[in-house]
Amino acid sequence: MQDFEIKPYPELWHELDMDVERFDKARQMLGGAYSKIFLSQNNRPQAMAYFDEMIAEIFGGRIKELVQAKKEGRPVVGTFCVYIPEEIVLAADGICVGLCGGSPGSIPDAEKILPRNICPMVKSAFGFKAGRICPYFQAVDFVYGETTCDAKKKTWEILDRLVPTYVMEIPQMKKERDRALWIEEVKDFKAKIEEISGKTISPEQLAAATKVINGKRRALQRLTKLRAANPAPISGKDALLIEQIAFYDEPVRFAAKVNELCDELEVRVAKSEGAFPKSALRVMVSGTPMALPNWKIHNLVESAGAVIVNEESCIGTRYFKDLIAEGTEDLDQQLAALTDRYMRIDCSCFTPNDERVTQVLKEYKDSAAQGIIHYSLQFCHTYNIEEIKIREACQQEGIPYLSIESDYSPDDVGQLQTRIEAFLEQVEG
């Protein structure tokens, strides 16, 4: 196993008014976990070195870029959801970074203020700011929330006391009147970014930004298609890591590095070279997002000898499966095309949401998976209830299926390991 360290930047962290002593302990723990989970893998693609370095610099190199951008007058915007149109931020020469929490370490800070029985991702994110233990939270100019669930939309009211928080309303249905509301929200989003940046977004700037973000999506789509090969040319853990990094890395650089990786994976596929043997069981994960550093399910599945070949979630295909139509220089048409693309995201907050059931079955087939694990965070009511329809669809199609509800704590790892191993035995027959 390689030596690995997430690099310390205490002076930078002091500049950002962080709880440096406490955060440094978390940094060391994360480095140890990363080394054990990722660097212990066999036959990793060489191009994963870039993504390892991104983790090594996760609290330093990228933070320096954000701080420098702010000094240049560029807006740095934190977001919590794939519904926030990052193209608009980029068009104003801004930077968009994801702030969702995937760690149990910040939850006690949140539970001093928020109720205990709400989504762990909401608590983790809020706790990072409340405890001053996330340099991304400390570096942003403001954050954009959204109304995809009750816990989020009420937490944003409290978060606004700690950092300026603007909330974008996401309709809960997809009728024409909902589209009309949504496009007005997009226009308001654009106006807010223009106010913060002091710049008016031109059609040319929005067109250029759309091409950049579409480029990131295309790179991730390419990676997903390559994972359908057997043997899988890359582990599910490494693919998940890349998807997580997509939310905070610079998009042009990130797309280039993902494409470099895909070039290597194409050679592997041609040679039938895999990260796992051809006989390894292939599992697809569906459900709630797995924000960094939530690697629990992937680690358990792949430690048991199976390989995860797809993530139908906000951290996975739901983030990048749809592109924005390009080719127009009319601003109203661009905003309409942007809105149409974001309306195709099939989050469980929508009712009805039959298109997600169809998408799960499609991705299962496209990824050549042999079973589905549906993963829900505790107290995520929309996904936990929608799981019923996913389960029924899998039963009808004869797809091996396991539903898991968990949080970020390691307390249930033993129980989950037993259930996952039993599920894999069932799939194997």
Q: Are 291 and 81 in contact (CB under 8 A)?
A: no
Please tell me the predicted confidence (pLDDT) of residue 3: 78
**pLDDT band for position 100 (cuts 50, 70, 90):** confident
pLDDT tens by residue, 161-176? 999 999 999 999 999 9
Please tell me the predicted confidence (pLDDT) of residue 2: 63
Candidates 32, 50, 26; CA nearest to 238 is 50
Q: Is 60 exceeded by the pLDDT of residue 334?
A: yes
pLDDT tens by residue, 17-59? 999 999 999 999 999 999 999 999 999 999 999 999 999 999 9
Count CA atoms closer than 13 A to 370's CA, side-chain side: 15
Quote the tokens at residue 386. Answer: 């929608």
CATH architecture of 214-323+347-428: 3-Layer(aba) Sandwich (3.40)
Domains 10-198 and 214-323+347-428 share a fold: yes
270 CB neighbour count, 10 Å cutoff? 10
Looking at residues 220-239, what average pLDDT do you find?
A: 98
Which contacts (CB < 8 Å, 24+ apart) does range 29-38 have?
A: 29/105, 30/6, 30/293, 31/4, 31/5, 31/6, 33/293, 33/295, 34/4, 34/6, 34/293, 35/1, 35/2, 35/3, 35/4, 36/1, 37/237, 37/295, 37/299, 38/237, 38/238, 38/241
Looking at residues 135-145, what average pLDDT do you find?
A: 96
pLDDT tens by residue, 175-211? 999 999 999 999 999 999 999 999 999 999 999 999 9
Looking at residues 95-116, what average pLDDT do you find?
A: 95
Q: Is 80 exceeded by the pLDDT of residue 1?
A: no
> Is 123 exposed, middle or buried (CB count within 10 Å of its CB: 0-12, 13-18, 19+)?
buried
Please tell me the predicted confidence (pLDDT) of residue 429: 81
**pLDDT band for position 371 (cuts 50, 70, 90):** very high
Domain boundaries, the chain: 10-198, 214-323+347-428
Looking at residues 248-258, what average pLDDT do you find?
A: 98
CATH architecture of 10-198: 3-Layer(aba) Sandwich (3.40)
Q: Calculate the average pLDDT of the chain.
A: 96
Quote the tokens at residue 12. Answer: 């930078």
Residues 6+ apart with CB under 8 A from 333: none
Does the pTM of the predicted model rise above 0.95? yes
Task: Say which residue the tokens 């978060």 belong to.
Answer: 159
Q: Is 70 exceeded by the pLDDT of residue 335?
A: yes
Looking at residues 215-239, what average pLDDT do you find?
A: 98
